[in-house]
Amino acid sequence: MTLYERYQNGETTAVYADIAELGQKAFGAPYHADVNHVLKETFSRVAYNLNVIHKGLTGIGYLFKREFPYNSDRPLLKPFLQTERLLQRLETTVKPFGYVPESLKMFYRAVGGCNFAWDYETNEDYIWVYADPVQIIALDDLVSIVCEEEENWKEDMRQYFEEDHIAFLELSADYYHKDNTSGGAPYAIQITPLPSIDSAFLNEEHNTTFIDYLRITFENCGFSRITEPEYDNDYEEFFSRVKPQLKKI
């Protein structure tokens, strides 16, 4: 049975564990086409789940941002026609530090972008507190930060690399900043020294990978921390309507 067939049969977590075990073999025969098929299916499901959650949130009057000075402010953003060109620019710029993980590239090809943060500039009476709504920067905004300010970005990465031996791409505010509170470093995906299928999702409390963070997020209907008991968020009714519609990734 292929990895894709196993994934379709529900072995979603196990399949990605096996892909991680393959390491660099995942990029060669006989595995690459099968692994790529799994990635395409995963991020097709990510796009589907985001649409389901967005519809559910709209139905309860959730306050998304209404003004979009940047594409990253949009709740949902379809992939750009120029996605491949933008990805090429991104890969060229990060090359001195390593490789953009395939998971992030497939996100931009299949999903586009998302920002389910509450519009606190309009109303600070949050429906859920410190729930960590899913948010992934739009590709054009990421390219603007990394490529159009290339020398500044590279200098920052050199300093991080010297101190911590890592380089990264910032993808999302942390859950404090999403609620307009001073917090920590942005969530970021690690740039890897060799080609990689997925990579570490940095500065986020689950200490996991990008795909697994999305998995955790969908297990919590788009809000990875909504069930934290200290905040007493009233999410059960929303979960009961939305969660049965979501696909496992």
- Averaged over successive runs of 10 residues, the pLDDT of the chain (249 residues) comes to 97 98 96 98 98 98 95 98 98 96 98 97 94 98 94 94 92 96 94 97 97 98 96 96 98
The sign of the CA dihedral 152, 154, 157, 158 is negative
Q: Which two tokens stand for residue 85?
A: 């060109």
Cβ neighbours, 10 Å, residue 145 = 15
| 112 secondary structure, DSSP code | -
pLDDT of residue 129: 96
- pTM of the predicted protein model: 0.97
Adjacency order of strands within the sheet including 187-191: 167-172, 187-191, 200-202, 208-209
pLDDT of residue 163: 87
